[in-house]
Amino acid sequence: MPASDTDDILITSTSGAAALPFATVTSALFQQVFTQPPFSVNEATLARQREYLSQLASRPGFRLTLAQTTDTYLGFGYGYLVPPGSRWWSNLVEPLDEEFVQETGARTFAVIDYGVLPRWRGRGIGHAIHDELLAGSGAVRATLTVRPAAVETQVIYRRWGWRKIGHEIMESPWPETTRRRTPPFGAG
């Protein structure tokens, strides 16, 4: 494998309660990424993220992936397996077919939050986090949401194989219309 900008960067993942010791660093990264445009979140959103991150760690299939150099954290991603009976797909403006929305608890990994510090972007770090997070999930497909204003992010996801399957009007923390995408990386 040829040398890349990620050769000196460690990508690690942890699951469940083992991720809790990394909650503070993950929330700090979230703040640095999402207080910048086009997201520009406020303090209330940052507080909600700190709260729900700890709650998510107890969900089945929760996974946290971090990127770091020897002394600096650079990026993060986390999510969980969508459980059976979930309402995950129920708020889309145009409903999906019944077979598509059936969840088994192992079929779909929901990427909840994901980001790389601005000065470390464009070096393959985000892609490495993305690939590690999804590869270790055990799911056959994944989903995430993207704010419409995050045009650059949408371009990156399309380049990585994600496709739009619908949009929804979400409640906090992102009250704007978002797009939900699923990559074609598995059957189902």
Q: Closest Cα to residue 174, out of 140, 150, 158?
A: 150
User: Within a domain: residue 1?
Assistant: no
Mean residue pLDDT of the chain comes to 87
Has residue 62 been placed in a domain? yes
The reply to whether 2 falls in a domain is no
pLDDT in tens, 94-118: 889 999 999 999 999 999 999 999 9
Residue 179 sits at φ, ψ, to 5 deg, of: -115, 135
pLDDT score recorded for residue 6: 60
In a domain, 151, yes or no: yes
Domain annotation covers residue 80: yes
Number of domains into which the chain is organized: 1
Q: Residue 5: inside a domain, yes or no?
A: no
105, exposed or middle or buried, with CB in 10 Å at 0-12, 13-18, 19+? Answer: middle
- Tens-level pLDDT at each residue, the chain (188 residues): 233 456 799 999 999 999 999 999 999 999 999 999 888 889 998 999 999 999 999 999 999 999 999 999 999 999 999 999 999 998 888 889 999 999 999 999 999 999 999 999 999 999 999 999 999 999 999 999 888 888 999 899 999 999 988 888 766 544 443 444 455 444 33
The closest alpha carbon to 141, from 169, 161, 159, belongs to 161
DSSP 8-state secondary structure symbol assigned to residue 92 = B
Tokens of 83: 């459980």
Its sign, for the CA torsion 87, 130, 155, 72, is: positive
- Hunting for tokens 């929760």 — which residue is that? 62
Is 41 within a domain?
Answer: yes
pLDDT of residue 91: 84
Pairing state between β 63-68 and 108-116: unpaired
Looking at residue 182, its pLDDT comes to 54
Residues 46, 167: Cα–Cα separation, whole Å = 24
- What CATH number did the domain enclosing 64 receive? 3.40.630.30
Strand order in the sheet with 108-116: 10-15, 63-68, 73-81, 108-116, 141-146, 177-182, 163-169
Q: Give the integer Cα–Cα distance in Å for 38 and 179.
A: 15
Decide if 15 is inside a domain: yes
Question: Domain range spanning residue 22?
Answer: 10-182
